[in-house]
Amino acid sequence: MATIERVDILVTSPGRNFVTLRITTSDGVTGLGDATLNGRELAVAAYLRDHLAPLLAGRDPARIEDTWQYLYRGAYWRRGPVTMTAIAAVDVALWDIKGKVAGLPVYQLLGGRSRDGVLVYCHASGADVPALLDDVDAYREKGFRAIRAQAAVPGLSGSYGVRKGTIYEPAATALPDEQGWDTEAYLDFAPRYLAAVRERLGSGIHLLHDVHHRLTPIEAARFGKSVEELRLFWMEDPTPAENQDAFRLIRQHTTTPIATGEVLNSIWDVRQLITEQLIDYVRTTVVHAGGITHLRRIFDLAALYQVRTGSHGATDLSPVSTAAAVHVDIAVSNFGIQEHMGHTEETLNVFRGGPRLENGMLHPSEEPGLGVEYDDELAARYPYEPRYLPVARRLDGSLHDW
């Protein structure tokens, strides 16, 4: 029996920070898992190095489910983003190893293809409506079939989701950037620019929008109602989701589909949302919700309630996560859509391989395992840089959800 011989925790910052776990077996097979938790990266690195690495030494790498249970139940302390991201990194690395040992891409181990490709949505944004419409046109010309639209709310500093360079990067400063927020201004402006985008797109292209946890349930209900005619694919994170009950009120008022879950990390965090059919898409991910093993469990529960998948796929999820997500997405029957923000060239040179993007669809690598290689030498040239996500403040200076 092969055993886990070596565990490396790799931190690199090719344009942004990534934490990667690499497990090496006594047979010399390696597996990669993403462990990046944006703005709290080193907490996961320490959890892996100080608390999980000693437990992994000598274990059978083939026992994925048992290792998951051992790390989850064995912690005694349940759930939470740091724990679940660390467990995810181990889980995904073990699936990578299992694929390589079997000589099969990971999606084959998950039951094989349920579809030909994975529909993705991209991010269009603009400082004003004309700039947003130009960006929408540019993405449509690149072949994307689903587009998320965000514009800067006039008069507010630094709106969520508005790109400055080629790739949106909110964690760009050594200390948290302070951004302004005004709910009334947003509720007045967002439906109008989304209407302009829908008019530009016509039908046949999906339109999405991220509210980013900014509204109360009744405000979210008002927003959802006001955009019903625009046929959004979804409104994302209309209200913070710690309180799952809150979504019932939104549901009573609007038929605009709802997606949530990118910040949630276990099946318990989405259980009521799913079983009471309070959402249409669950956005949990391989990296923040316990790996392929746990995500599959969430997605299978969702399937029973006609909730489809719509995993988070921002730039702060490494290419290892993109690859793992696409292996899951292509296999599960209730796949909905996959977010795809892409990565910089610098990042893609450190993490080589992975899925292929063609006509708005991602296709998994046919290499055994996940199909991603990590370039240690290049990674070492990009040392960790402390960075935080922004915070949002209302006009009176009080703190709001960013």
What residues numbered 108-167 form the site for ligand EZ4, per CB under 6 A? none
Contact, 183 vs 239, CB < 8 A? Answer: no
The yes or no reply on residue 212 touching ligand EZ4 (CB under 6 A) is yes
Of the candidates 47, 72, 160, 281, the residue annotated as catalytic is 160
Residue 64: how many CB atoms within 10 A of its CB? Answer: 21
Q: Write the single-letter amino acid at 272.
A: Q
The yes or no reply on residue 206 touching ligand EZ4 (CB under 6 A) is no
How many whole angstroms separate alpha carbon 332 and alpha carbon 316? 24
Choose, by CB under 6 A, the member of 96, 135, 210, 219 that binds ligand EZ4.
210
Contact, 382 vs 391, CB < 8 A? Answer: no
Q: Has 212 been annotated as catalytic?
A: yes
Closest by Cα among 368, 313, 369, 370 to 343: 313
CB of 237: closest distance to Co ion in angstroms? 5
User: What track of x and - describes contact with ligand EZ4 for positions 263 through 302 (by CB under 6 A)?
Assistant: ----------------------------------------
How many whole angstroms separate alpha carbon 57 and alpha carbon 3? 8
The residues of the shown chain that bind Co ion, judged by CB under 5 A, are 210
What residues numbered 22-41 form the site for ligand EZ4, per CB under 6 A? 38
In the complex with ligand EZ4, which residue's Cβ is closer, 4 or 326? 326
Please name every residue paired with 6 in a beta bridge, in sequence order, or none if there are none. Answer: 24
Beta strands in 211-317 (DSSP E): 234-236, 258-260, 281-282, 308-309
CB of 158: closest distance to ligand EZ4 in angstroms? 13
Report which residue's Cβ sits closest to Co ion. 210
In the complex with ligand EZ4, which residue's Cβ is closer, 98 or 308? 308
In the complex with Co ion, which residue's Cβ is closer, 90 or 307? 307
Q: Has 160 been annotated as catalytic?
A: yes
CB of 366: closest distance to ligand EZ4 in angstroms? 29
CB of 107: closest distance to ligand EZ4 in angstroms? 24
CB of 283: closest distance to ligand EZ4 in angstroms? 8
Q: For residues 288-316, b (16+ Cβ closer than 10 Å) or e, as one string?
A: bbbbbbbbbebbebbbeeebbbbbbbbbb
Which 3 state secondary structure label does DSSP give 219? helix
CB of 349: closest distance to Co ion in angstroms? 27
How many whole angstroms separate alpha carbon 160 and alpha carbon 153? 9
**Structure-derived torsion over alpha carbons of residues 390, 182, 211, 165, reported in degrees to the nearest 10:** -50
Instruction: Look at residue 342 and give the partner it binds from ligand EZ4, Co ion, none, a contact being a CB closer than 5 to 8 Å depending on partner kind.
Output: none
Binding span for ligand EZ4 by CB under 6 A among 55-63, 74-82, 179-187, 312-320: 312-320
Choose, by CB under 6 A, the member of 262, 269, 329, 367 that binds ligand EZ4.
262
Q: Strand 178-181: give its sheet, edge to edge.
A: 178-181, 391-394, 399-400
The yes or no reply on residue 312 touching ligand EZ4 (CB under 6 A) is yes
Binding site for ligand EZ4 (CB under 6 A): 38, 170, 210, 212, 262, 312, 314, 316, 339, 389
Q: Could you list the active site residues? A: 160, 212
